[in-house]
Chain A
Amino acid sequence: ELKVEQNPLFLSMQEGKNYTIYCNYSTTSDRLYWYRQDPGKSLESLFVLLSNGAVKQEGRLMASLDTKARLSTLHITAAVHDLSATYFCAVDSGGGSNYKLTFGKGTLLTVNP
């Protein structure tokens, strides 16, 4: 059974600081997704990483995927309050044409002024 572990689960940081959220997974996969969820809201897709070495950036967020290490990172640069949310990584464990997303527990990020 695929296990997806995120750390940290809780992150409190100051505005302007940098930090990285880690997502480790237990079986081979080259499809990884990052989502954001605001309190009481739905999930919003941030990044789709579909190959080893993939790197994507949007604003202050940058995601990368290392399939050999079974690791993805979400790097936050110069955090601002608006980034406060829960961030989830999700890994596709199906392989080929079969498809099954397993989510991590999420990282609750709080950015303080």
Chain B
Amino acid sequence: DAGVIQSPRHEVTEMGQEVTLRCKPISGHNSLFWYRQTMMRGLELLIYFNNNVPIDDSGMPEDRFSAKMPNASFSTLKIQPSEPRDSAVYFCASSLGQVETQYFGPGTRLLVL
């Protein structure tokens, strides 16, 4: 299996621009998680889906962030408009169930100038 796939791997953008991060979970996994990692705040769970349905988005920092999972093999995390404080590594992870081992993707390094 190819593992969790994320794109792009690196993104540099200017403040105010829209950013879309993409994730393809491992085939057969029914739970998908979006995390953000920064030096200051560590690893934070932003949102997670179970069977394509958003279950908990309480970690989404503000209305500028949105996430979708239109089908079992694809999810997006969108930031509009982006701000410099959004600079971080964004990880997507998937698992067979909500409490099972999570498999992390390689991450997207986002830099907002």
Contacts of A88 in B (CB 8 A): 43
Chain B residues near A98 (CB, 8 Å)?
55-56
Once the chains are docked, how many angstroms separate the CA of A50 from the CA of B55? 21
Are B102's CB and A45's CB within 8 A?
yes
B77 an interface residue at 8 Å Cβ cutoff?
no
Tell me what chain B mostly uses at the interface: helix, strand, loop, or mixed.
Answer: strand
CB–CB A99/B42 < 8 A: no
- CB distance A99 to B55 under 8 Å? yes
Q: Is A100's CB under 8 angstroms from B106's CB?
A: no
**Contact of B103 (CB < 8 Å), options: A45, A50, A101, A103:** A45
Q: From residue A89, how far is it (CB to closest CB) to chain B in Å?
A: 11
Chain B residues within 8 Å of A104, by CB: 42
- The answer to whether residues A99 and B104 also contact, given A43-B91, A105-B42, A106-B42 and a CB cut-off of 8 A, is no
A102 contacts the other chain (CB 8 A): yes
- Kindly report which residue of chain A lies nearest to residue B48, judged by CB atoms: A99
Which of the segments B20-28, B62-70, B78-86, B93-101 contacts the partner chain? B93-101
Beyond contacts A41-B106, A48-B101: 9 other A-B pairs, Cβ-Cβ < 8 A, are A42-B106, A45-B102, A45-B104, A48-B100, A50-B99, A99-B99, A100-B48, A102-B45, A103-B44
Residues of chain B touching chain A, judged by Cβ–Cβ distance below 8 Å, are 31, 33, 42-45, 48, 55-56, 58-59, 91, 93, 98-107
Closest 7 CB pairs of A and B: A103-B43, A99-B98, A43-B104, A42-B104, A45-B101, A42-B106, A105-B42
List 14 A–B pairs whose Cβ atoms lie within 8 Å, in order of A's numbering: A33-B101, A42-B105, A43-B93, A45-B101, A45-B103, A48-B100, A48-B101, A88-B43, A94-B56, A99-B98, A100-B45, A100-B56, A101-B33, A103-B44
